[in-house]
């Protein structure tokens, strides 16, 4: 018996990487009865007499998992964020960040298409970069002339980590992957069709090896469409709120109408982003009005 990580899932086969070698396996027959579906990224136990034939025997507990792409045990996510074409949406970015915070996945914000900005817009995004860096997020942005340094910075982040790439359609995910891994020699069109959301339900999910780490090559990500949390839990997924909440008068303060709220005070002093707070209010309202789901299947 050996231990490894599911590297690729395709048509009922699970390729497992262990000690630098990749073994092709099938899941045990009782997995389906027990409703266990192995995911790419799973830490597993397997038995194999050769690289081409073996059985996946056990899936160990996951620290997190995503639905789209179906992947587990992610350390970090690169949130590819377009500055223009499509235009930047702080609301979308904050939803993505909340989704990652809920799943305990470290975000890396990567701004694209900086070279298309005029000076005023560039100044605006330098300010946006500062806001998110002050919150504690890792933000990568090129200087607008070339993105060699920003790509190097991103590549360093992949070292010994399991990463997934996410972002809205048109944000430049496929172009970014091509720049990071030119040795793969994948045409942009091919990447686009395989990486963007499609109508196909049976798609290959696999990792790319990058700088000693693993990067999921299926960055479609829709977990931020709806959050399975209560409205009063949302405050815990805005790091700048969470670290200042102990100074609020009320322990259960949700930073909206309560008196002597530290978050409202920081907003009045312009020490927190008003735009992010407005996104928080909008998300809070959506969650507050969401009807509870009874008899939910686990």
Q: Residue ranges for the binding site? A: 112-115, 167-175, 248, 253, 255, 261
Question: Quick one: residue 144, left, alpha or beta (phi over 0 = left, psi -120 to 50 = alpha)?
Answer: left
Annotated binding site for Zn(2+): 248, 253, 255, 261
Annotated binding site for GTP: 112-115, 167-175
Nearest to 113 by CA among 79, 157, 147: 147
The CA-atom distances, in angstroms, between 4 and each of 43, 75, 229 are 6, 17, 33
46 burial via Cβ count (<10 Å: 0-12, 13-18, 19+): buried
């Amino acid at each position: 018996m050996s231990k490894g990580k599911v590297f690729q899932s395709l048509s009922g086969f699970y390729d497992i990487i262990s000690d630098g070698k990749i073994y092709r396996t099938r899941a045990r027959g009782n997995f389906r009865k027990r409703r266990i579906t192995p995911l790419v990224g799973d830490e597993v136990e397997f038995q194999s007499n050769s690289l081409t034939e073996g059985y996946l025997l056990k899936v160990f507990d996951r620290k997190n998992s995503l639905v789209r792409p179906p992947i587990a045990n992610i350390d970090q996510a690169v949130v590819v964020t377009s500055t223009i074409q499509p235009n930047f949406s702080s609301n979308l970015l904050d939803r993505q960040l909340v989704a990652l915070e809920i799943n305990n996945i470290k975000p890396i914000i990567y701004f694209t298409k900086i070279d298309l900005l005029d000076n005023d817009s560039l100044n605006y995004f330098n300010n946006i970069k500062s806001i998110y860096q002050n919150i504690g997020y890792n933000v990568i942005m090129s200087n607008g002339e070339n993105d060699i340094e920003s790509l190097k910075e991103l590549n360093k982040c992949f070292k010994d980590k399991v990463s997934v790439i996410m972002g809205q359609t048109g944000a430049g995910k496929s172009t970014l992957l091509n720049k990071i891994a030119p040795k793969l020699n994948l045409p942009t069109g091919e990447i686009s069709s395989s990486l963007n959301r499609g109508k196909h339900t049976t798609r290959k999910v696999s990792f790319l090896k990058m700088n000693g780490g693993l990067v999921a090559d299926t960055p479609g990500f829709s977990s931020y469409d709806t959050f399975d949390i209560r409205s009063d839990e949302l405050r815990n997924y805005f790091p700048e709120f969470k670290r200042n909440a102990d100074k609020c008068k009320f322990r259960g303060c949700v930073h909206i109408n309560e008196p002597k709220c530290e978050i409202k005070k920081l907003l009045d002093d312009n020490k927190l982003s008003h735009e992010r707070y407005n996104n928080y209010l909008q998300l809070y309202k959506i969650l507050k009005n969401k009807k509870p789901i009874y008899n939910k299947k686990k």
